[in-house]
């Protein structure tokens, strides 16, 4: 059996089309969604991520404001900038690109973001709403939300399924745990202290890897017919982008996301979706939320 591809690029393009429609509706009411990105220092990977976000935002006609700060910036300088965007009416979403230089306390910066503008869904208030499964709109981290959109697109139902997530980051693994649990999946969250990982992953109907290590998931760890979502983005010795899941897993899985072209494009498209959703909520255009 050869796994079918979960095409993140095509799904992201469909999502972006939908987002563009909503933006034209907002614009008809004189509203332009605004996204502010704060980039501290000169991390090359962060620069690439920010450039991708800018390209997508500008193509959609989102007001994209990039504020770059030198790597020796103080905590106070970053907090002040966040405050400035909190009060800026033209800005609906604020994103602080991680990682931050070590003199800056990332938690403090995230807490300073107005939860209504927290486009990465990392503010404790939004995490609380997510883990409480509270029935109202709140932003959710874009990669996990994008994974759910991708599963929906292929009509992969998670209700009652065994889902195993490998990796418990605040940005990916933990929000996924909550999202999937809210959708009635039975979720196991594995990490570097997990014993007998292979035994656990083999029980997964849906296996999600978000580790950041090449080949951490191999074919013998996957139940035949499982759906495999590869969140990892790693560079191999040839400089090529590869995921966390070994190549031969596609011979056992029923569906699999490619890297690149899987979760990556979903993340950026979901960021655009969420800027528009936050704008809709802030401007009493809730009818644009689906």
Annotated binding site for NADP(+): 167-169, 233
Least Å distance between CB 256 and ligand NAP? 14
Q: Which of the residues 202 through 231 are near ligand NAP (CB under 6 A)?
A: 210-213, 216, 231
Least Å distance between CB 30 and ligand NAP? 33
x/- map, 114-153, ligand NAP, by CB under 6 A: -----------------------------x----------
Q: Which of the residues 150 through 169 are near ligand NAP (CB under 6 A)?
A: 166-169
Least Å distance between CB 83 and ligand NAP? 27
| Part of the chain binding ligand NAP (CB under 6 A), chosen from 52-60, 80-88, 178-186, 191-199 | 191-199
Q: Could you say which of 7, 118, 120, 230 is catalytic?
A: 120
203 is catalytic: no
Q: Could you say which of 7, 22, 56, 97 is catalytic?
A: 97
Least Å distance between CB 190 and ligand NAP? 6
Please report whether residue 263 would count as binding ligand NAP according to CB under 6 A: yes
Please report whether residue 176 would count as binding ligand NAP according to CB under 6 A: no
Number of residues that bind ligand NAP (CB under 6 A): 26
Least Å distance between CB 52 and ligand NAP? 10
53 is catalytic: yes
In the 3-class helix/strand/coil scheme, how is the chain assigned residue by residue? CCCEECCHHHHHHHHHHHHHHHHHHHHHCCCCCEEEEEEECCCHHHHHHHHHHHHHHHHHCCEEEEEEECCCCCHHHHHHHHHHHHCCCCCCEEEECCCCCCCCCHHHHHHHCCHHHECCCCCHHHHHHHHCCCCCCCCCCHHHHHHHHHHHHCCCCCCCCEEEEECCCCCCHHHHHHHHHHCCCEEEEECCCCCCHHHHHCCCCEEEECCCCCCCECHHHCCCCCEEEECCCEECCCCCEECCECHHHHHCCCEECCCCCCHHHHHHHHHHHHHHHHHHHHCCCHHHCC
Tokens of 189: 């969250």
Phi, psi of 224 (to 5 degrees): -55, 130
136 versus 237: smaller Cβ distance to ligand NAP: 237
97 is catalytic: yes
Please report whether residue 245 would count as binding ligand NAP according to CB under 6 A: no
Residue 1 neighbours by CB under 8 Å, 6+ apart = 224, 225, 251, 252, 254
Catalytically active residues are 53, 97, 120
Binding site for ligand NAP (CB under 6 A): 143, 166-169, 171-173, 190-194, 197, 210-213, 216, 231-234, 263-264, 267
């Amino acid at each position: 059996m050869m796994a079918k591809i979960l095409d993140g690029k095509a799904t992201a393009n469909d999502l972006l089309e939908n987002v563009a429609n909503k933006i034209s509706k907002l614009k008809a009411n004189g509203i332009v969604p605004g996204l502010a990105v704060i980039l501290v220092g000169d991390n090359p990977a962060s620069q690439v991520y920010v450039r991708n976000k800018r390209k997508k935002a500008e193509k959609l006609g989102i007001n994209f404001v990039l504020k770059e700060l030198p790597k020796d910036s103080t905590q106070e300088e970053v907090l002040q900038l966040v405050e400035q965007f909190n009060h800026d009416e033209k800005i609906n979403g604020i994103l602080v690109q991680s990682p931050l230089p070590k003199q800056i306390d990332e938690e403090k910066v995230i807490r300073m973001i107005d939860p209504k503008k927290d486009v990465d869904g990392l503010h404790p208030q939004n995490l609380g709403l997510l883990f409480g499964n509270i029935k109202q709109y709140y932003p959710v981290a874009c990669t996990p939300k994008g994974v759910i959109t991708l599963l929906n697109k292929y009509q992969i139902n998670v209700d009652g399924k065994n889902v195993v997530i490998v990796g418990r980051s605040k940005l990916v693994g933990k929000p996924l745990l909550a999202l999937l649990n809210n959708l009635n999946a039975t979720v196991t969250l594995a990490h570097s202290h997990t014993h007998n990982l292979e035994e656990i992953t083999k029980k997964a109907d849906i296996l999600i890897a978000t580790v950041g290590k090449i080949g951490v998931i191999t074919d013998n760890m996957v139940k035949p017919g499982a759906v495999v979502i590869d969140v990892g983005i790693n560079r191999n010795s040839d400089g090529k982008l590869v995921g966390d899941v070994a190549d031969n897993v596609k011979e056992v899985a029923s569906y699999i996301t490619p890297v690149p072209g899987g979760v990556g494009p979903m993340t950026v498209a979901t960021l655009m979706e969420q800027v528009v959703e936050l704008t809709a909520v802030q401007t009493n255009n809730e009818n644009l939320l689906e």
